[in-house]
Structure 1
Amino acid sequence: MQPDASRMPARYYASLCDLLKTDGLDIEAVLRAADIWPTQIYGPDATLSVVQFEALVDQLTKASGRTDLGFLMGRQVKLSSHEILGYAILTSPTLDYALQLASRYYRLMNPAFEMQYRHGPKSSEVIFQPIQSLGTPALRFLLEMVVVSAHEQIKSLIQQAMPVYGIYVSYAEPAYVQHYRKLQPAIFHFGYEDRPGARMVLSNDALSRPLPLANKASLKMAEARCEQLIQATIESRQMTEWVTMILRESTNGFPSLAELAQLLNQSPRTLDRQLSREGSRFLEISKRIRQEKACALLQAGTQSVSQIALQLGYNEVASFSRAFKRESGCSPSEYQQKQGN
C-alpha cells in the first residue's frame, strides 16, 4: 500500500493498545467508542485518519485514566517498528548519517511531524515540528511520543555511553516528570520552545562514531525502497488547518507569515499561494486566532492587559486595545468587566 500523508500508520498505536490490554484495559470497548474497527488498527498496512487517531487518544486516556500515554508509547517504539526505514537507519555507518536519513524520510514513520537535522561546528540539532493539524491533546501525545522514542532509539543505535545532551520541548513539565529523569543522559527542558515542537542538541563527537550494524549493501537496498515510498506519498496536507493550529498553540509571541514559512522550509510567497488555493488568507486567520486567544486570556483573568498584549505579539498596549475594540466593540478592560474579572 502506498503511504498517504493524511493518514497515520496504525502499527505504533496497535502496540500501545496491546500493552494496555495486558494491564486489563478493555481495548475492544475503547475501539468501539473511538469508532474504529479492529481491522483498521490491526490489519496489514493499517492506517488511521486524523479524526480516528484523535478519538483513539481521547478514549485511551479516558479509559486508562493515565496522562502519560505519550511517554509510555515513546518507550515502546523500536527502530524495527519503522519497517524498511528502521532497517536503513540500523545499517547506517554513523549516527550522523542515520539522522540525515531519518530526516529525509521521516514522513514514512510519522506523517504528522517533520524532522529537521542541522549540523553545526561543535554540536548538531534535531528539530521536530508538527505539519498536520491536530487538537491539543493529540498533539501533546504525539510530540511526547516523538521525543521519547527518538531518545530511546538513538541510545539503542549507538550501543555505548553517550555524553550528556539536552532536549527542549514546548509542553509544560508534566506531573510525572520523574519518568523523564530516568532517560539518561538526556536532560529535558520543559516549556522551552515558543512554537509546538521539540529540539535535541547532540555533541558532534557522538555523531561521528561508527555504528555496530553498519552494512553498505543492506543500506543501499533499504534507501532505494525508502525513496520509492516517499515519492509515492500523497501530498494532502491542508495548510489552512496547519497554520491555524500553529498560531493557536504558539506562546510568547505570535508568529508571522515569514516565520511559519521558515518552519516549512519554503518562501512566504509559496505559503501564501497555498493558503489562497484553499480560499484562506494569513491575515484573516491571524486576526481570528488573535481575537480568540485574547478573549480566552481576558476571561481567565490571570494576566494584566499589558501582559496579554505582549503574549499576543503587540509592541504596545494601545495597539492591542484598538485591535480588540475593532473586533469586539469594547476595550479589553471593558470586556474583562463584562466577564466579571
Structure 2
Amino acid sequence: MKANIPEIPARYYLYLGEVLERENIHFKEILASIQMDYDMLIQPNALLTLDQVERLIEAVSQVSARSDLAVDLGMSLKLTSHAILGYGILTSPTIEVALRLVARYFRLIMPTFRMQYRHEHDQIDFIIQPIVSMRPKTLVFHLEAIAVGFHFTIRELLEKRMPAYHLYFSMPEPAHSARYQELKEARCHFSWEAKPSLRLRFPGEIAQRTLALADPYSLEMVESRCREQIRHFMTQGKVVDWVSMMLRESSDGIATLGDLAALLNLSARTLDRYLKSEGVGFRDLSQRIRHDKALEMLTQQALTVTQIAYELGYTDPANFTRAFKAIAKVGPNEFRLGLRQA
C-alpha cells in the first residue's frame, strides 16, 4: 500500500457484489480474475487497499459494460450499512446532530475522502472531497455512490418527507444522467467546479427535525466507539486531515486543541504530538484554517469585517485585522476592496 493512504472498509464492495449478482454477473469470478479472495472480503472489519479497489472497479466496469453501477450501489446502502456509525445516526436527537456526526466520523465510512458540514443562514451544505490521488474512474464511481447513498440515507431519516435540494458534481454529465431522475427531490448539476468534489445543499429547515429513535445513552456509546476507531486510524497517519476538518466545521470561533483532544479522550499534548509527527503544529494549522475561513467569508460579502472577526472567535476586531494582515500583507477591508475592483 502507498504510504499514508488509508485502507477502505470492504463491506461496501460486498453490496456491489449483490448488485452484480442481480444482473447474473458472478462477483466471485471477477474477484478471482484480479487475485482477490471473496472469503477475505466477508471477514469482519475487512479492509482493501486503494490499489485493490481500483482494480476491482476496473474489472467490474469491463465485465458489466455498465457505467451506472455506482448509482445502484448507492441505492442499495442503508443506515445499517455504516456499522456502528449508522446506529449513531439513528439514535441522534435531530437531523443536525446526525449530520454533524456523519461529518465528524466520515473517515470511518470512506477514509479516502473528507466531508465538511456547514449550516449557515438558511442552508445546509455537505462538501465531499478526495484526500488522496486516485484514477478518474475510481473517483467518479465513489462520488456517485456517495451522492446516491446519502440521498437515500437522509430520505430514510426524514421518513420520506424529503425537501427539494441541490446536488452538485464536479464531474461532467455522465451518459446515464437520466438515472438521476430516480432521486426525485434532487436538482442535479454537473461540472460545477474544476476541483474534484461533491456538494449536497439542503434547506436549513431540516436541521431541527427530530428523529423517532433518539437515545442519548446509545449515542454516547456510539461516539465513544467512533473515537476509539479514529484513534486507531491515527497510527496510520492523516491526523492532520481530521483536525483540519474539525477546525473548518467549528462555529462560534475556532475549536481549541483541548476541545479536539477531549473528543478523542486524549491529552492536548498527545494530540499535538500526533500532529507534529505529520509535520505541523496545532497553532500553525489553526491559524491557517482560520485565515482560510476569513478569506471565504470576505469573498462572500455577506458579513461586515467586525461580524467576521466575532464569527472567527476574536473578541476584538482589531486583533483580527492584525492577524489577517500578518498573513495576507493587507488588512481585511483592503482585501475586500481589491475583490470589488478586480
Classify the TM-score, shorter chain.
Answer: 0.5 to 0.7
| Paired residue secondary structure (1:212) | coil
Aligned residue identity for 1:107: R
The equivalences for 1:21-40 within 5 A come to 21-40=21-40
Unaligned runs of 5+ in 2: 249-274, 281-342
Indicate whether 1:220 and 2:220 are aligned.
yes
Is this contact kept in 1: 2:124–2:201, CA < 8 A? yes
Give 1:207's aligned residue.
207
Is residue 2:102 matched to residue 1:111?
Answer: no
1:189 aligns with 2:189: yes
Match of 1:88 in 2: 88
Task: Report the 3-state secondary structure (helix = DSSP H, G, I; strand = E; otherwise coil) of the residue aligned with 1:181.
Answer: helix
d(CA) in 1 for partners of 2:90 and 2:238?
Answer: 33
In the other structure, the counterpart of 1:255 is none
SS at match of 1:133: coil
TM-score (norm: length of structure 2):
0.67
Structure 2 SS opposite 1:193? coil
User: Tell me, what secondary structure is at the counterpart of 2:71?
Assistant: helix
Q: Quote the offset at 1:23 in angstroms.
A: 1.9
Checking the alignment, whether the CA contact within 8 Å between 1:170 and 1:191 is kept in structure 2 is yes
Query: Whole-Å Cα distance in 2 between the matches of residues 148 and 195 of structure 1?
Result: 20
* 1:262/1:90 CA distance change after superposition, 3 Å: closer
CA 1:238–1:34: 2 relative to 1, 3 Å: farther
Q: Is the 8 A contact 1:111 1:132 kept in 2?
A: no
Give the gaps of 5 or more residues in structure 1.
243-260, 276-341
Equivalent in the alignment of 1:79: 79
Superposed displacement of residue 5, structure 1: 6.1
Whether 2:145 is the aligned partner of 1:145: answer yes
CA RMSD of aligned residues (A): 2.7
1:31/1:37 contact within 8 Å kept? yes
**In structure 2, distance between residues paired with 1:161 and 1:63:** 38
Deviation at 1:262, TM superposition (A): 9.5
Q: Which residue number corresponds to residue 233 of structure 1?
A: 233
Aligned residues of 2:155 and 2:162 also touching (Cα < 8 A): yes
CA 1:21–1:162: 2 relative to 1, 3 Å: closer
User: Can you list the C-alpha shifts for 1:273-295, whole angstroms capped at 9, x where unaligned?
Assistant: 859xxxxxxxxxxxxxxxxxxxx
- The CA deviation string for residues 65-87 of structure 1, in whole angstroms up to 9 with x for no partner, is 11111111111111101111000
SS at match of 2:20: helix
What's the counterpart of residue 57 of structure 1? 57
Partner of 2:12: 12
Alpha-carbon contact 1:108-1:230 (below 8 Å) kept: yes
Partner Cα distance (1:119, 1:187) in 2: 19
Distance in structure 1 (CA, Å) of the matches to 2:31 and 2:210: 43
Equivalent residue letter for 2:10:
A
**d(CA) in 1 for partners of 2:80, 2:232:** 22
Matches of 2:222 and 2:245 in 1, distance apart?
Answer: 30
| Residue matched to 2:169 | 169
Q: Determine the C-alpha separation between the residues in 1 that align with 2:235 and 2:154.
A: 29
Number of equivalent positions: 248
Query: Where does residue 100 of structure 1 map in the other structure?
Result: 100
Matching residue's letter, 1:96: E
Q: Give 3-state SS (helix, strand or coil) of 1:220's partner.
A: helix
